[in-house]
Amino acid sequence: MRYSIMVQLVTGITIVLVSTAALFGWLQNRPTPMQRDFENEASWFGD
């Protein structure tokens, strides 16, 4: 039983670590404000 707690603990830690890696990926790839403005401007000019 104690080791099933251990498995749950390690699973929980793994989820936190992988989620943080995913967040890291998003933070490094999120569109910057400048890019967003540029896209909006481009759509206004219809080209």
* Cβ at position 30, least distance to another protein in Å: 9
Q: Is 30 left (phi over 0), alpha (psi -120 to 50) or beta?
A: beta
37 counts as binding another protein under rule CB under 8 A: no
- Comparing CB distances to another protein, the nearer of 5 and 45 is 5
8 counts as binding another protein under rule CB under 8 A: no
* β strands within 1-47, DSSP E: none
- Please report, as ranges, the residues that interact with another protein according to CB under 8 A: 1-3, 6-7, 9-10, 13-14, 16-18, 20-22, 24-29, 32
